[in-house]
Structure 1
Amino acid sequence: MKIYKINIALLIAGNCLPFFAGAQHKPAKSTVAVHHTVQPGTKLIPLDPSVRTGKLANGFTYYIRHNNEPEHRVVMYLANKVGSILETDEEQGLSHFLEHMSFNGTEHFPKSELINYLQKAGVRFGADLNAYTSFDETVYQLPLPTDDPAVMKNGLQIMRDWAQGLTLETAEIEKERGVIMEEERLGRGAADRILRQTLPVMVNHSRYASRLPIGKADVILHFKPEVIRNYYHKWYRPDLQALIIVGDIDVAKMEQLVRQKFADLKSPPNEKPRLKYSSSLTGKNQFLAITDKELTNTVIEVNCKHKEQKIYTETDYRASLLKSLFNGMLSRRYMELSRQANPPFLEGGAAIRDVMPGLEAFKLYVSCRPGEVESGFKAVWRETARLQRLGFSKTELERSKREYLNEMEAMMQEKDKMTSDTYVNAYLNHFLNGGATPGLSKQNEMINRFIPTITLAEVNALAKEYIRETNRDIIVTAPEKDKATLPAESAVLAWIRDVNAEKMDAFKDDVSTLPLLAHMPVPGKIVKEEKDAKTGLTFLTLSNGVNVILKKTNFKNDEIVFQAFTNGGTSLYSDADYESASNAANIISSAGVGNYNASQLEKYLSGKQMSVFPFIDERTQGFMGNTNTKDMDSAFSLLYAYATEPRKDEQIFKGIISNAKAALVNKDDDPESVFSDTMTTVLGNYNIRRTPANLEKIAQINLDRAYSIYKERFANVTGMKFVLVGNIDEAKLKPYLEKYIASLPANGTIEAAKNLDIHVPEGLISKTVYAGKEDKAMVYLVFSGKFDYDYASTLKMQALKETLEIRLLERLREEESGVYSPAAEVSTRKLPDGRYGISIYFGCSPANVERMIASAVDEVEKLRKVGPAPENIEKFKAEDLHTMQTIMKTNNFWLDYLTGQLSNGEPLDQISNYNKLIKGMTAKEVKDIADKYLTGKNYIRLVLLPESVKAK
């Protein structure tokens, strides 16, 4: 799928490392320089020495690095400093249009042959092969297998063709106009309408305000082909381009090939200067209030803007660490606010973030509860005023420092396991945006040198520096129905003055020094141990009846992921108890555990590289989590605490319920929410356990009942399956299993889940929803029924889905230009009874709904009557085998696989037949399974159309 990006979202988050540029493997020469003004006495941060960089005589830049994760794979990115900001009024949308055309014909891969070739090589279009266009850049990505020299050679040729070898045939241009307009249609809605009004304020009415990457419809539909050809030759030139290659490659050989392949790129005569645009400060304040019929809540943003601070020197980097610590501590304060019995907002927070090129800002954000705009805004602003006046506490800073150092330590532990994408993104940012990209080792050295030196006074000074009354924007967006009560600028400013004048106490950092557990466990024993040489699994039986399955891997140096489950779940409770049961795990775990309330627990766990979450789903209950070696005691003691020492917190419960109710008030004003709720209801056969939330269902949630159900579900672990995957040291792990897992309560009874007989309804069903003001439609088609479950059949169903998706893309998008991104999904299950579902979904013009549905159903019929084209089966095989080759080397894959097999009672070595079954699969087998299941007897058609269509 081809996309365009706009990085202007408000991000309220905790600590994050200012940049990452990867691990080291061996020194390599570095010849790409960053030019900027450096203050005397400051030290430049060098480029990551592990990347081979260079610039050809024609100005073309390259970054090449060897990396083994994943093995036998390479990632190539072609970066162009060409985006919508360069377009004239007559060219608006052509940067993005060019991105599309790069997949529709090049000198060596005419028309659609590029996608066709890569699919045969195992590269998925959209998932792997992709691109994006933004204001300042257009970037193409191509992941490839490295074990086929021909594919590698052609991969470089594709990058060269993208750089200066697009054919831009008139017929292909004409076909792509409709596809791009369908992409534009998908983006329409309240969020897009609000963006177009707020963007000029956010970027201080700079050029960015009028250069959204999607462009303008009049240009997209009517530009002459020669215009885009001229634009391509004008801007796609070597001095604005870089090739980034990271993967399982020989760097020296790759560098030689790159220099040979790209040396002949030419710049156009009379080269047009590539101007650098940015949004600058004006010294003025701005206010904007907007309403929209489809907005569901009132949001107020306050942006105190500042000049962007890039990272070039060690002094710059230390300053970025200050901001990261500041953001993390402030984020946790807002989290505590949200735990009140009557939370003052639906969402709220603040942080120092980049806005657009040239600008950063202290960004405050509050999503208000209906009718509580003033109190919600004041609650969020109050924390900024408290921070300005009283600052952070010493314990907050020390905890945040510890968290930062531990995060860095964990990254260093895995430095030789970093994926190639991580490095590519670092070098991409270096080329496009400048600034430092030092590599992980240098970053680790600076963090460990600078973090201990950061003082509380320095961090507190940021609040006074960044929260200012000049260069400040206030933006209010609200549902149209609330227009009459929308606050004016004078009202918001008065709220700020009121809060600033309040008497305030310092923030109380609620930290406990008690042990986590109120009662220490009585350890059990490992009573049986078996090893299976075929699967490499170790099977342990604990004295309380828990069955432990260990899979040792080396995919990560210090990671263990785990899941534990027993049967039962919400299926054992009546419809009257369902809401309490289904929400019990979330409600009870939100209250803290053992001796710690929620806030104390969050601080206790700060900096630990582990997590544990209890769950109760329809057929099982249990725990999911992960840990490193150092934090195993914390992880397993937390699991034990969740099972044996849960807590109730009336205040937090009231807050959860209060916000759940508030979120429903205007929910039906969002057309996509209405459509989603309709789909859920219809596909759930109107069963009360499948219908969406409403006030009546929320009122059924009872804290005492949720608590008792939670305790019942974890009161007996007899027969529990506990799967752990990762770099396991059994000698270190076993004492924790005996202390915290073998000690869990068990009564010897093994429960079974009930079959509730809830499934997609049978027969022919059609439902149309009329909602929304935009001229766009959404279509969802579902084929379902009973399924004869076995492993081979599930793989054939996956092949059916993939080959169907290939044809939907070829026909609905490429041949008919009627949709942007048609997709298909398949699901199969064994328990409680065999069922399958195949769905097709896409967006399109309301005028084209019937034609697109007819084409989609026709492709389904062709699969059933004729079967898939043999070449599409081969594409599926190549894609699936390559994908599986990579994901099988991840811990989470094996955790999901093993727990899935155990849940279904299937053999744990079943996957050993995967390659044989995939390679041996034929088009006839897929046709037969399509003929068996795609009969059309159980067919559901769900369509979202705008309100205006119903009116006609």
Structure 2
Amino acid sequence: MKRNFLLLTLAATSVFSFAENPVLAQPKQATTKNATGEKFPADPDVKIGKLANGLTYYIRRNVEPRNRAVLYMALKAGSLMESDAQQGLAHFTEHMAFNGTKDFPKNELINYLQKAGVKFGADLNAYTSFDQTVYQLPIPTDSTALFHNGFKILANWAGHISMEDTDIDEERGIIVEEERQRGKNAQSRMQKEALPVILHGSRYAERIPIGKLDIIQNFRHQEIKSFYKDWYRPNLQAVIAVGDFDVAQVEALIKENFSSLKNPAGAKPHQVYGVPDNKEPMVKFITDKEFPYNVAAVTFRHHSKPTRTTADVKSGMIVSMVNAMVGTRIQELKQKGTAPFVEGQLSYGPWQGGLVNGLNALSVIAVTKDASEISKGLAGVMAEAERMAQFGFTASELEVVKKNIDAANERAYKEKDKIPSASFVQAYLKNFMYESPIISPDVRYNLTKKFLAEITLDDVNKAAKKMVKEENVTVLVQAPEKDKDKLPTAAQLLEGLQNAGKGLTAYVDQAVNKPLLEKKPAAGKVVSTDKIEKIGVTKLTLSNGVQVYLKPTDFKNDQIMFTSFRPGGTSLISDNDYKAMNYAGNIPGDGIGEFEVTTLRKMLAGTTAGASSYLNELYEGFSGSASPKDLETALQLVYAYATNPRKDPVAFKKNMDDYKVFLQNADDAPDNVFGDTIAAVFSSNNPREKKPTVADLDQISLDRSFEFYKSRFADASGQTFIFVGNFDVAQVTPLLETYLGGLPSANGTSKFVDRGVRPLTGNTTRIVKKGIEDKAQVRLFFYGEYEFAPQTNMQLSALSDILEFKVLERLREKESGVYSPNVGIAYEKLPYANYGLTISFSCASANVDKLVAATLDEIEKIKKEGATAVDVEKFKAESRRAMEVSLRENGFWLNYLTSKIKDGEDPTSVLTQNERLQKVTPESVKETANKYLSNANYFKAVLMPEK
């Protein structure tokens, strides 16, 4: 059961998203310099310069990750700069950058980087928006030639893209398929109807980055060449380089590669565009037969001032505080089960995620159970905006938020020497595009401390009141087409919003001043200690049967992560009882003991501790993280979730009601039907794996689910914990003895039950006809049981990656029939050893058979001829480079150790990965393909339009 099924729908009201700290516009008045209105001191660790041709550069040495650099080439030009005949060509130009440049003809650029371990799509990438185009190249620095060539590549993009006519024509189909893959669904259709309202009267409405398909398919070659010549010019470009390198050397490389670039004579003026104000509210109703939810959103759009001074940062911090406090109030309303909406959001920030610089908005969003309640639901969220405007917040609410900001600030400061290079790159990119200030970690830390002490409740309440100023009002309603007649009128919606502030009373904060645990548990003891010296792991066995694996690291200064598992899970529920107990996995989400979730969050204010229990098919256990200083609090949460779970009938009813809302229209969405069809094949229609019906939900028992949950955590013997992070084994051992050693234990044994859920065998085909647009989704599955072994898994991974190279070349580059095909491999040892290789892509419905045949042809080529030496080289390089980074990440080690210990595999096998990698050869890939892609179990699933 998925409790957050509606959260993605709330994004439907935002056109694009890249956020920036919101700053409230201040009243016009005489300005004087003061301590909080000063501009920021220059960050001494970033070198900013400008070449004679106007190109800007940012350089910073940063050693996280080691032997790596992140290089960006940024351009202050996007789709807004296109002429009428060029719509879509800013984005098209970005594509052409990967189709040949002066020094890297045709596909040589991608091949060169892949052989160096840079993965296309995951590492090497680019994007185009309204006002910017950005190319990103994460690259190793331990190869001098490769690193130097990285700057040559950026310079080639900046001024030397080939733009061959044949390459342009071959790329047209790929762009068409990108539009098909990203769009041609309910969301894109509704967005097309919404944009003329959201972006009314502006150039933005006329220059959506993907462009117009008829132009993309038919434009003259000279149009895109002209766009490139006019706008790819050094005085609109920046090079950003952050990484493990010598700054002086990088500056020399930038000058060497970019100084020769020239600006065109008679350059076109670079304009900045806005969105006009609307005096009267604009209301738009949009329905679609494939849209499963009822969503309403209202925005009050305000002009804002850019962040330039320390006072602006203070204003932005106040906005963040308001958003956090009102967000908590919305959550509390939902938990009480009396809210007139299923989901609600209320926040202040950059309008449309920062789409147009200089605009902020108050966004009010409501999801309701049916169309007839939209007006009531939207007014219900709006009432909380009015409540904060009329009565403000309480001192206790502000205290909670301040504690959380302070804790996050301290944690960030402790990690200031471990900040990843990509974070710095984003800050410099914003500085180049919008002149956002570059704030050093030290300055940010000190300012945050200073403002936390200065900001008063009155400051916050005044800001909250300004946020609800009703300017440039836009109301957007999205609903299923079948509910069209139930929708309110525009007048009813606006009247509901106007009346939302009537009859309100002040919010009363139910502060709790109780400890998480009434008393500490009786501690257990470490009864044995073992070492896995090769990977720096210590294993402790506690007196209650709990085992703990500890791996201290220095990858982060202020982070400890942990997880645990015990075999059992819901597999121990019989088929007959499965429906009744199906809420057991949701119990942790309802809180602990007498503390529901929002109360629990308030109690934890000021700590970095987070932990919870889980209950899935095969295991039950815990997971969490904390700063070293808050580890005890995280362990207290573990103990509380095990010994004092919360039984909450109100939360249970709300969750059941919400899930019924999802079910009532779920089958209107083609993707849902397609997913259910695939799940049915992979479970052989096992009732345990089926999506529940409304009738099934009525059979779920909170009492029985709760009792099952308690029974699974009543005996901790067999729980295995894994801790990774910055800790000393000797120092944390007493805490582990107290809270893990103190968990209740019956010294029993626990095993999961293999319930025999298996996929259908043989060749299976499912054609699902659902959807109104010409878009097909194809999934090809090869799967079966096998002998689980690290060497076999390495060979399967090689086959998967190399097959993706070939499918991309064939379906995208040669056929121009898809945008981004994907090949993935999955394998697991428990409850039975099985593997599954999946090939997926979207395309025009008329091309399904041709592209499936082409895919199978590529598989047959590998089975007959094996892989090419070049493709094996690419796989090995990408694998080595990825592992170099992973070995310095706490998350990698946590997941790696957990999987190895669960499966009973050798946890030191990571040290021999290069040996397994060496055994990947063109011939071994051929053997693997013949063995595991034999068509013994082959499933073709296709989602086709109805007509």
TM-score by length of 1: 0.95
Q: Give 1:732 shift.
A: 2.7
On the 8 A contact 1:516/1:594 being kept in 2, the answer is no
Matched, 1:105 2:106: no
What amino acid sits opposite 1:508 in the alignment?
Answer: V
Partner of 1:750: 749
1-side partners of 2:341 and 2:254: how far apart? 54
Q: How does 1:283-294 map to 2 (within 5 A)?
A: 283-294=279-290
State the distance in 1 between where 2:350 and 2:944 align: 38
Residue 342 of structure 1, CA deviation: 5.2
Sort the Cα spacing of 1:610 and 1:582 in 2 relative to 1 into closer, same or farther, 3 A.
farther
Q: Which runs of 5+ in 1 are unaligned?
A: 1-6, 21-36
Matched, 1:908 2:907: yes
Can you list the C-alpha shifts for 1:702-739, whole angstroms capped at 9, x where unaligned? 11111111111111111221110111122331111111
State the match for 1:522 in structure 2: 522
Q: What letter is aligned with 2:377?
A: G
Question: Paired residue for 2:255?
Answer: 259
Identity of aligned residues (%): 41
Tell me the CA shift for residue 689 of structure 1. 2.0
Mapped partners of 2:813, 2:268: distance in 1: 34
TM-fit CA distance, 1:542: 0.5
Aligned twin of 2:791? 792
Query: Which residue in the other structure is 1:561 paired with?
Result: 561
The SS at the match of 2:535 is coil
Which of 50, 71, 80 is equivalent to 2:75? 80
Deviation for aligned residue 1:412:
0.4
- Give 2:619's aligned residue: 620
1:485 Cα offset (Å): 2.0
1:3 is matched with none
The equivalent residue for 2:274 is 278
Amino acid at match of 2:792: S
Shift of 1:825: 0.9
* DSSP-derived class of the 2:783 partner: strand
User: Residue 389 of structure 1 aligns with which residue?
Assistant: 390
The match for 1:124 is 119
Match of 2:533 in 1: 533
Aligned to 1:30: none
The one-letter amino acid of 2:421's match is S
For 1:634-713, list aligned pairs within 5 A. 634-713=633-712
Residue number in structure 2 paired with 1:449: 450
Q: Retained in 1: the 8 A contact 2:364–2:378?
A: no
1:360 aligns with 2:360: yes
Which residue is equivalent to 1:25?
Answer: none
1:300 equivalent among 287, 292, 296: 296
Q: Would the alpha carbon gap of residues 680 and 930 (structure 1) be closer, same or farther in structure 2, given more than 3 Å must change?
A: same
Helix, strand or coil: the match of 1:244?
strand
Q: 3-state SS of the aligned residue for 1:630?
A: helix
Of 293, 302, 316, 1:320 maps to 316
Alignment of 1:384-783 (within 5 A): 384-502=385-503, 504-586=504-586, 588-783=587-782
Shift of 1:499: 2.7
The superposition leaves residues 565-589 of structure 1 with CA deviations (integer Å, 9 ceiling, x where unpaired) of 1111111111233245453132x22
Q: Is the 8 A contact 2:22 2:360 kept in 1?
A: no
- Greater shift, 816-825 or 746-755, is seen at 746-755
CA contact (8 A) 2:520 2:738 kept: no
Cα displacement (A) at 1:19: 9.5
Distance 2:192 2:929 in 1: 45
Q: Summarize deviations over 1:381-404 as a string: whole Å, max 9, x none.
A: 221121121111111011111111
The answer as to 2:141 corresponding to 1:142 is: no
Aligned with 2:531: secondary structure? strand
Distance 1:419 1:404, change over 3 A: same
What residue number does 1:24 align with?
none
Aligned equivalent of 2:179: 184
- Amino acid across the alignment from 1:812: L
- 2:150 aligns with 155
Indicate conservation of the 8 Å contact 1:69/1:247, yes or no. Answer: yes
Say whether the 8 Å CA contact 2:349–2:361 is kept in structure 1.
yes
Q: Is the aligned partner of 1:60 residue 2:55?
A: yes
Q: CA offsets per residue over residues 343-373 of structure 1, 9 Å max, x none?
A: 5322111111211313211111111111422
Cα distance, 1:399–1:378 mapped onto 2, change above 3 Å: same
How far apart are the structure 2 equivalents of 1:431 and 1:250?
22
Identify the residue that residue 5 of structure 2 maps to in structure 1: none
Q: Which residue of 2 aligns with 1:241?
A: 237
SS of 2:590's equivalent in the other structure is: coil
From the superposition, tell whether residues 919 and 343 of structure 1 become closer, same or farther in structure 2 (CA, over 3 Å).
Answer: farther
The more displaced of 793-802 and 195-204 is: 195-204
1:777, 1:944 within 8 Å by CA — same for their partners in 2? yes
Question: For residue 155 of structure 1, what is the amino acid of its counterpart?
Answer: G
Deviation at 1:518, TM superposition (A): 3.9
**Counterpart Cα distance in 1 of 2:688 and 2:793:** 27
Does structure 1 conserve the Cα–Cα contact (< 8 Å) formed by 2:807 and 2:858? yes
Give the C-alpha shift of residue 539 in structure 1.
1.1
CA 1:724 to 1:701, structure 2 compared with 1: closer, same or farther past 3 Å?
A: same
RMSD: 1.8
1:11, distance to aligned residue in structure 2 (A): 7.7
Moved more, 675-684 or 932-941: 675-684
The 8 Å contact of residues 681 and 692 in structure 1, kept in 2 or not, is answered as no
> Which of the numbers 222, 226, 229 marks the counterpart of 2:225?
229
Query: Partner letter of residue 266 of structure 1?
Result: K
User: How far has the Cα of 1:505 moved from its partner?
Assistant: 2.5
- CA distance in 1 between counterparts of 2:195 and 2:360 reads 14
Query: Partner of 2:836 in structure 1?
Result: 837
Deviation at 1:48, TM superposition (A): 2.6
Q: Does the alignment pair 1:133 with 2:128?
A: yes
The answer (yes or no) to whether the contact 1:280–1:307 under 8 Å persists in 2 is: no
Alpha-carbon distance, 1:274 to partner: 0.7
Q: Residue 944 of structure 1 aligns with which residue? A: 943
Give the 3-state SS of the residue equivalent to 2:335 in structure 1: coil
Q: Is the CA contact 1:76–1:246 (under 8 Å) kept in the aligned structure 2? A: yes
Q: How many equivalent pairs are there?
A: 921
Relative to 1, partners in 2 of residues 1:150 and 1:796: Cα closer, same or farther, differing over 3 Å?
Answer: same
**What is the rounded CA distance, in whole Å, between the counterparts of 1:507 and 1:168 in structure 2?**
62
The 8 Å contact of residues 768 and 942 in structure 1, kept in 2 or not, is answered as: yes
Report the 3-state secondary structure (helix = DSSP H, G, I; strand = E; otherwise coil) of the residue aligned with 2:204: helix
User: Offset at 1:284?
Assistant: 3.4
Could you give the per-residue CA deviations for residues 799-823 of structure 1, whole angstroms, max 9, x where no partner exists? 0000000001000000110000000
Q: Please, what TM-score do these two structures have when normalized by structure 2?
A: 0.95
**For 2:766, what is the secondary structure of its paired residue?**
strand
Residue 57 (structure 1) shift: 0.6
Quote the Cα distance in structure 2 between the aligned partners of 1:8 and 1:238. Answer: 36
Q: Deviations over 1:252-299 (max 9, x none)?
A: 111011112111110111111111112243433222122121211221
Native 8 Å contact 2:328 2:598 kept in 1: no
Secondary structure of the structure 2 residue equivalent to 1:310: coil
Contact 1:540 1:548 in 2 (8 A): yes
Asked if the contact 2:581–2:702 (Cα under 8 Å) also holds between the matched residues in 1, the reply is: no
CA distance in 1, matches of 2:12, 2:74: 23
Residues 340 and 652, structure 1, Cα contact 8 Å, conserved in 2:
yes
Is residue 375 of structure 1 aligned with residue 370 of structure 2? no
Indicate if the aligned counterparts of 1:119 and 1:878 stay in contact, CA closer than 8 A. Answer: yes
The structure 1 segments of at least 4 consecutive aligned residues displaced by more than 3 Å after TM superposition are 7-12, 16-20, 37-40, 579-583
Q: Alignment partner of 1:406: what SS? A: helix
CA distance in 2, matches of 1:579, 1:63: 59
Letter in 2 for 1:739: T
2:778 pairs with 1:809: no
| Corresponding position of 1:197 | 193
